[in-house]
Structure 1
C-alpha cells in the first residue's frame, strides 16, 4: 500500500524518520502494536483522537497507515500542504488529492485554510466565480 503513493525515495526516508521522531505517532504505533483497550478512557490522552479510527490503522514499513493513506507527522504537514496546493485547483480538488494518499487529524481544515488564504486562488476565483444577477419573471395571470 505504502509503495503505491508516488513519492521520491528521499522523501519516503524523510517521512519514516519524521514519523519515528514524532511523539504522538510513536505513542500511536505502540498502541497499534499492543492492541487497543476496551474503553476509550484507557487510551493515552495524546492519541485519544485516533480512537474512532482504531480499526483502520496499521503499521507498514515504519509508517502508520489509515486505510490506504499514510499518516503524516506534524513536521511534514506544511510541506505536504504545499505540494497538494501547488496546482491551485481549489479546496475540493486539493482535498480529493489529499484523501487518496495522506491523512492527519485536522487535514480538511488545514487544506481549506491554505486554499482560502492563497492570494493566487483568491484572485482567480473572483474572476471565474462571479455571481449572476437575479432575473425577475412576469407573474402568470
Structure 2
C-alpha cells in the first residue's frame, strides 16, 4: 500500500528497484531486515551500521527497502534525487520540509541537502542577506512627540506593535 500510494512515478520506482538490486549495502540491509538483526552492534558490518538506530522501522516490500513509509534511495540515484528536489531552488529548509512530507530517505540526507544547496551558485546569488543594523542612539527630544519609536514582534501566537514615545520631564 505504501508503494502504491507514493508520489513517485512507476518509472522512478522501477529505477529504484533496479538500483537497489545493484547496491551492495541495500542488499546486505535487505538480508538483515528479512533474517533479523544481530543482538549486538559489534556484529553489524560497517556498511549497514548507519541503519542500526532505526532498524525497527525498516522493512522490504517488492524489493524496495523502506524506513517507515519512506523509500530508501540507493546511493547511485541520490545525486539525481537531490537535483530533482532542488530544481526550484527552494532553499535548505523548504527542501527538508518537502522531504519530511514526501517519501524518500537515506542516512545523512539532511547533511547532504545542506551541503548540496550551499554549493548552488543560483541559490548563493539570490539568497537574502539578513545583516542586522547596529542599534542607533537617538538624542533626547526637546518636546513631547518629537521622537516616536516603533517595533513589531510576534509572541505567544499574537502580533504586537510597540510604540515608544520619548518625552521631556519637567
Q: Which moved more, 1:10-19 or 1:94-103?
A: 94-103
- Mapped partners of 1:96, 1:68: distance in 2: 16
1:111 maps to 113
Structure 1 residue ranges (4+ consecutive) displaced by more than 6 angstroms after TM superposition: none
Query: With structure 1 as the length reference, what TM-score do the two structures score?
Result: 0.90
1:49 maps to 50
1:36 maps to 37
1:120 maps to 122
- Mapped partners of 2:130, 2:40: distance in 1: 51
CA deviation string 1:36-89 (max 9, x = no partner) = 111111122221111111011011121111011110001100110001111111
When Rg is computed on C-alpha atoms for both structures, the one with the higher figure is 2
| Structure 2: segments with no counterpart, 5+ residues | 141-165
Please tell me whether residue 8 in structure 1 is matched to residue 22 in structure 2: no
Once the 2 structures are TM-superposed, how far is the Cα of residue 29 of structure 1 from its aligned partner? 0.1
Q: Alignment RMSD, CA only?
A: 1.9
Q: May I ask how many residue pairs the two structures share in their alignment?
A: 139
User: Which structure is higher in RCO with an 8 Å CA cutoff and minimum separation 6?
Assistant: 1
Query: Which structure shows the bigger proportion of residues in strand conformation?
Result: 2
Once the 2 structures are TM-superposed, how far is the Cα of residue 119 of structure 1 from its aligned partner? 0.9
